[in-house]
Structure 1
Amino acid sequence: MLDKLEMFIAVAKEEHFGRAAASLGITQPSLSAGIKQLEDQLGVKLIFRGSRFGGLTPEGQSALEWARRIVGDARQLKEEMRFKRHGLSGRLRIAVIPTALTWAAELSMRFSEKHPNVRFTILSRTSIEILSMLENLDVDAGISYLDNEPTGRVSTEPLYEEKYMLVCALSSKFAARRSVGWEELDGERLCLLTPDNQNRRIINKNFAAVGVMPEAIIESNSTVVMVANVETGRWLTVLPEDMARFLTTGKSLRLVPLKGREPAHAVGLVAPYREPHTPVLAALLAEARRMSAMS
């Protein structure tokens, strides 16, 4: 039944039989047959469907929660047995908000030094995508905001609080300043992250707190693109301090602290809530705790 539950989770996630089959590496007829067998075993209809996916039935919504739990438990069992035989090993899949990628690199480096048999896959995703990926068992953990959007039933370890910096060229009128108020960026040529990123929504709140509606002439989901535009001398951008320092090292750019009334926002490691965690995930949470204590 386990393989049928994974098929069901994939269909619920993709909301499309063809895409779900492709994600699992099987044919669509095999997927449809597997879902039908699962429905027969459970004695209920899980999916509304005619010629295409029509959504989950009420029974399907309930079954999805059980499916995720059962598949998650089965994977945890495999991890426990691998730990018994080989110690900490395997692959950790982590989804990370774009502005925290430097912290993901530091966390994976520290962890790998202690546990060299663990491999990492690190993906850049928005905070909403991270929660969805955790829910659908697509990743083992995430690094995301802890206090600005609902995170659901998860285990968390705070890593740091974001402090925002204005990034500008040396020729900018702000370059010689010791700090800049958010309100002073009203009407300036800004290059910011796209609105689907939580960082952008937080930045918008900071502007709103001082009565400013920012106009981002360039929007991108890449912090590299943002800094490259600032290098031309025609644009300004706003980034968290750690990411700003990493991206501007060796470049003719200036970082100026932004001052305002909005509180800092906590960013940390997020993992599905389980007691106990797999040995690998428990060790990752412990390493994040150590990093936070040192920062």
Structure 2
Amino acid sequence: MDIKQLHYLCALAEHRHFGRAAQACCVTQPTLSMRLRQLEQELGVALVRRGKQFEGFTPEGERVLARAQGLLGQYNNLRLEVDAMKGRLTGTVRLGLVPLSCMDLSPVLAGLRHRHQGVAFEINDMTADAILDGLNQNTLDIGGGFFEPEVLNRFDSLALPEQGVVVACSPDWSRRLPAQPEPQDLQGLPLCLPKAGMYFRQYLDTQFTRQGMVLEPVLTSDSVYRLMHWVQAGLGCALVPAGSVLFHGLPGVHCRPLALPAMARIGALVMRNDGRASLLARGFFAMAKEVWQYR
């Protein structure tokens, strides 16, 4: 057994496809398959369920995979610690972010990159549940989004102040709104909203239902950039967390605070707190605290 075999196993778990896993590992598919079969022969158990394509892991494979992910995390941390001994932080910070999450990470990324030129970033749009799974399985270093308070107790977290909701719209639509609109002021306006099922959309639906209103958007999307584009084009008004600074920076888009109760979930940055957080994760957290002047 060697570290490359464990790396191939974890890559297969991430990509769920032999060819894509091999490509991610910069080897041929036959090489990856052969090394995994050698690992199975050495351990004396089948790890992978094979058919015409990848069909998942056996129960034994799931247990070996969990240990392999932990060992790979420790191995990567060892390499990072050696670099840190030399006075540098290197590697890729793997971030999972909820679309429309209420934080601007650009100054954190810029600050960390300025201080450590060897640091790069991989940013993935994910659900909150997928982020938590990624942190637990060590496929992510940092998560950002909306989380239940009890979830934050299980992780190191940097919670942001509740900032509320804003209506983002072009000048034509903003002229129909008061400076501080109420939900009733949106009646008759075309709305561009997150897709049904996303947490922020569920929150909006609940709050408007309590006001006796039903949201009937003209456009829904799980892409922040599509919402931004159509708001800027004048198709309608978007309801977004106040911390979604991308909308505030759009030329010709006005943002008005909307009077709604606070969300049950909290906007926060999270990482593992069980001693297995990577040096990259800890470095990112330290920079976030510094940039946000977090106490």
TM-score scaled by structure 1?
Answer: 0.83
Segments ≥4 residues shifted beyond 6 Å: none
Q: Provide the rounded CA distance (Å) in 2 between the counterparts of 1:97 and 1:291.
A: 21
Q: Provide the rounded CA distance (Å) in 2 between the counterparts of 1:171 and 1:48.
A: 58
For residue 13 of structure 1, report the CA deviation from its aligned partner.
Answer: 2.5
The 5-angstrom pairing of residues 143-162 of structure 1 reads 143-147=144-148, 154-162=155-163
1:47-105, Cα deviation, whole Å (9 max, x unpaired): 22232222222212222211111111111111111111233344423333343486210
In structure 1, the partner of 2:119 is 119
Q: Provide the rounded CA distance (Å) in 1 between the counterparts of 2:3 and 2:79.
A: 13
In structure 2, the partner of 1:62 is 63
Q: Provide the rounded CA distance (Å) in 1 between the counterparts of 2:197 and 2:27.
A: 32
Q: Provide the rounded CA distance (Å) in 2 between the counterparts of 1:191 and 1:42.
A: 54
Q: Provide the rounded CA distance (Å) in 1 between the counterparts of 2:229 and 2:150.
A: 30
Alpha carbon RMSD of aligned pairs, Å? 3.1
Using a 3 Å threshold, how does the CA distance of structure 1 residues 20 and 210 change in structure 2: closer, same or farther? farther
In structure 1, the partner of 2:9 is 8
Q: Provide the rounded CA distance (Å) in 1 between the counterparts of 2:218 and 2:107.
A: 33
In structure 1, the partner of 2:40 is 39
Unaligned runs of at least 5 residues, structure 2:
none
Q: Provide the rounded CA distance (Å) in 1 between the counterparts of 2:99 and 2:289.
A: 21
**Matched pairs, number:** 293
For residue 197 of structure 1, report the CA deviation from its aligned partner.
Answer: 4.4
1:148-168, Cα deviation, whole Å (9 max, x unpaired): 896896432223434210112
Q: Provide the rounded CA distance (Å) in 2 between the counterparts of 1:57 and 1:179.
A: 57
Using a 3 Å threshold, how does the CA distance of structure 1 residues 265 and 150 change in structure 2: closer, same or farther? closer
Q: Provide the rounded CA distance (Å) in 1 between the counterparts of 2:195 and 2:222.
A: 6
1:129-150, Cα deviation, whole Å (9 max, x unpaired): 5345445544422222232896
Q: 1:22 is matched by which residue type in structure 2?
A: Q
Using a 3 Å threshold, how does the CA distance of structure 1 residues 25 and 131 change in structure 2: closer, same or farther? farther
Q: 2:169 is matched by which residue type in structure 1?
A: C
1:200-252, Cα deviation, whole Å (9 max, x unpaired): 343333334434332222123333332332234341111222325x4344633
Using a 3 Å threshold, how does the CA distance of structure 1 residues 162 and 23 change in structure 2: closer, same or farther? farther
For residue 194 of structure 1, report the CA deviation from its aligned partner.
Answer: 3.2
For residue 294 of structure 1, report the CA deviation from its aligned partner.
Answer: 5.2
Q: Indicate conservation of the 8 Å contact 1:9/1:136, yes or no.
A: no
Q: Indicate conservation of the 8 Å contact 2:102/2:267, yes or no.
A: no
In structure 1, the partner of 2:201 is 200
In structure 2, the partner of 1:177 is 178
Q: Look up the SS of the partner of 1:219 in the other structure.
A: strand
In structure 2, the partner of 1:247 is 247
Using a 3 Å threshold, how does the CA distance of structure 1 residues 209 and 292 change in structure 2: closer, same or farther? farther
In structure 1, the partner of 2:100 is 99
Q: Look up the SS of the partner of 2:243 in the other structure.
A: helix
Unaligned runs of at least 5 residues, structure 1:
none
Using a 3 Å threshold, how does the CA distance of structure 1 residues 238 and 66 change in structure 2: closer, same or farther? same
Q: Which moved more, 1:160-169 or 1:91-100?
A: 91-100
Q: Indicate conservation of the 8 Å contact 1:187/1:214, yes or no.
A: no
Using a 3 Å threshold, how does the CA distance of structure 1 residues 4 and 189 change in structure 2: closer, same or farther? same
Q: Indicate conservation of the 8 Å contact 2:228/2:247, yes or no.
A: yes
Using a 3 Å threshold, how does the CA distance of structure 1 residues 278 and 124 change in structure 2: closer, same or farther? closer
Q: Indicate conservation of the 8 Å contact 2:96/2:140, yes or no.
A: yes
Q: Provide the rounded CA distance (Å) in 2 between the counterparts of 1:63 and 1:162.
A: 44
Using a 3 Å threshold, how does the CA distance of structure 1 residues 149 and 3 change in structure 2: closer, same or farther? farther
Q: Provide the rounded CA distance (Å) in 2 between the counterparts of 1:209 and 1:292.
A: 35
Q: Which moved more, 1:275-284 or 1:230-239?
A: 275-284
Using a 3 Å threshold, how does the CA distance of structure 1 residues 120 and 160 change in structure 2: closer, same or farther? farther
Structure 2 residue 215 is the aligned partner of structure 1 residue 214: yes
Q: Provide the rounded CA distance (Å) in 2 between the counterparts of 1:151 and 1:167.
A: 29
Q: Provide the rounded CA distance (Å) in 1 between the counterparts of 2:93 and 2:187.
A: 43
Q: Which moved more, 1:16-25 or 1:143-152?
A: 143-152
For residue 259 of structure 1, report the CA deviation from its aligned partner.
Answer: 1.2
Q: Indicate conservation of the 8 Å contact 2:192/2:236, yes or no.
A: yes
Q: Which moved more, 1:97-106 or 1:164-173?
A: 97-106
Identity of aligned residues (%): 24
TM-score scaled by structure 2?
Answer: 0.83
Q: Look up the SS of the partner of 2:56 in the other structure.
A: strand
